[in-house]
Every structure is written in structure tokens, then in C-alpha cells.
Amino acid sequence: MSIFVDQQTRLVVQGITGRDGSFHTRQMLGYGTKVVAGVTPGKGGQVFDGVVPVFDTMADAVAETRANTSIIYVPAAVAASAIFEAADAGIALIVCITEGIPVLDMTRVLPYLHERGARLIGPNCPGLISPSRSKVGIIPGNICRPGRIGVVSRSGTLTYEIVHQLSGAGYGQSTCVGIGGDPLIGTSFIHCLSAFQADPDTDAVVMIGEIGGTDEQLAADFIQQAMSKPVIGFIAGQTAPPGRRMGHAGAIIAGSSGTAAEKMAAFARAGIAVMKRPADVVTLLKERL
């Protein structure tokens, strides 16, 4: 099994004819993802690469193709509108790759999705992949292997590094999820941890956090109280100076609770094996399994 995406995923790409949308659509098609539609206003009736029909609206795309998942590759100024349109069309899982969406836009998006029962992954994320089943986003499929280790991360690049370490040591992945590094995101660590705990084909979880906020501490509490599967953790930004944003919009230390040291201490208290560097993941996993 896997979480969130699998062979039943029917994907529509919002922004399919743009530079990023077209490039990554070809990558997803090549991986075997069922890309059933694309949406670009004004270009309805075209067929992308002779394979994927393009529609003017999400409503038309979903009605014609029974898509159940969307991925968004549109500029930040219109990304919130694209999320609203996907939810209105009945899409259950929305993945937003776009970076730089205003926080004010997200304060309107998140309650709207909650009312409609739709899940958002992102924004500012690499998406997710269930190896050999479905790839929705920009995580390189060639470094992933099917297996029984779940991966959830705030960092795209560190996701790739951890997956590379796991695959090289023979530990395949059930699903890898990049939840995004913005201050307001649709799917938290806890949502993913809960799903991995319930997945009978996931034996352990690797969680990659970073400085800023308290999401990692909340996740540590959840792990201590509700998870029986082993969790290996890493915190990026261990040498970051206070008050300076490091990469992601949410990666800024604004108090003692946002520091790497506090997050790592919370992990240790919860019984999470803590990596000092990504290369430690294999050693720690072997000790826990």
C-alpha cells in the first residue's frame, strides 16, 4: 500500500502548457502516473504531447476524465485561485508546487478546503511519490525504490538526499511526501505520520524537519502518544543564526522553540532516533528495525 497516491490516482495538471508544467508532466507520464487531463485557460481542445487532453476549466476536466487529484504549476499570483478551482471541481487531493504564495491568500485557502474535505499538499513543496505506483510532483523517480519506509519532509532537497541514502542501502520507500516549507501549509507532519501509522505496508518513518515554528515538537508529541512504528528524525538548520530566514519562508528562528536544539531535544524526549547528519539514517534505521 501507500498513502495519498497510488495506481488509482487520476491526475490533472493545472498549468500544463507552461514551462514547468510541461516539463514535469512529461516526467510524470514517463514514470507511469495516470495523467488524464491538463488545464490552461484559453487552450482547451489542445492535446498535450498527443496524449493528454487540455481543458479551459477544472470543472470541464473533472467532468470529462474523472480526475481525483490535481497538481498546480502556476505563478504565485494566481495559485490560490487555482486551488479554489480544484476544490470547487471536487478534487480530493491538491498538490501545489508553487512557491511564494502570499500568506494572506493561504489564510483564505485553508478553511475553504477544510469545508470541502479536500487535502492540500504544499504549497512550496516537491509533491509526493509512491514508488512504482504514482509520482505527483518533482521528486526524482530514479532515486526511489518500492519498499516499506515512509518519508515525510519539509525540505525538498533533503528528501532527495535521504531517499538516495535509503535506496542505496536497500531500504525502499512506501511513500515520500514533501509537505512544503511555507508558514501555512495544507498537510502537516502529524497528518502524514498518522497515515503512515495506519498503513500496513509501512514499517518505519523518516521525518525531516527544519528550524522555525513548533510543528516538529507537535509531531514529537504525537509520535510519543500515538505511534508504535519507529521514527528517525533530522532537523535542518542546526547552525542557523537567530532572526535570519534560511531558505524556506517558514525557516526562521523567532524564539527558543524554533531552534534546532529545542526540536532535537523534543525528538529525543519522544524516543525518536535523531540524525546528526543525513548519512546517519541507514545506521539508525538498522538499529530500530
Active-site residue list? 248
Residues 6+ apart with CB under 8 A from 199: 1, 2, 3, 150, 174, 175
Query: How far is residue 263's CA from residue 218's CA, in Å, rounded to a whole number?
Result: 10
**Whether 229 contacts 203, CB under 8 Å:** yes
3-class SS letters over the chain:
CCCCCCCCCCEEEECCCCHHHHHHHHHHHHHCCCEEEEECCCCCCCEECCCEEEECCHHHHHHHHCCCEEEECCCHHHHHHHHHHHHHCCCCEEEECCCCCCHHHHHHHHHHHHHHCCEEECCCCCEEEECCCEEEECCCHHHCCEEEEEEEECCHHHHHHHHHHHHHCCCCEEEEEECCCCCCCCCCHHHHHHHHHHCCCCCEEEEEEECCCCHHHHHHHHHHHHCCCCEEEEEECCCCCCCCCCCCCCCCCCCHHHCHHHHHHHHHHCCCEECCCHHHHHHHHHHHC
Question: Rounded to an integer, what distance in angstroms lies between the CA atom of residue 286 and that of residue 93?
Answer: 33
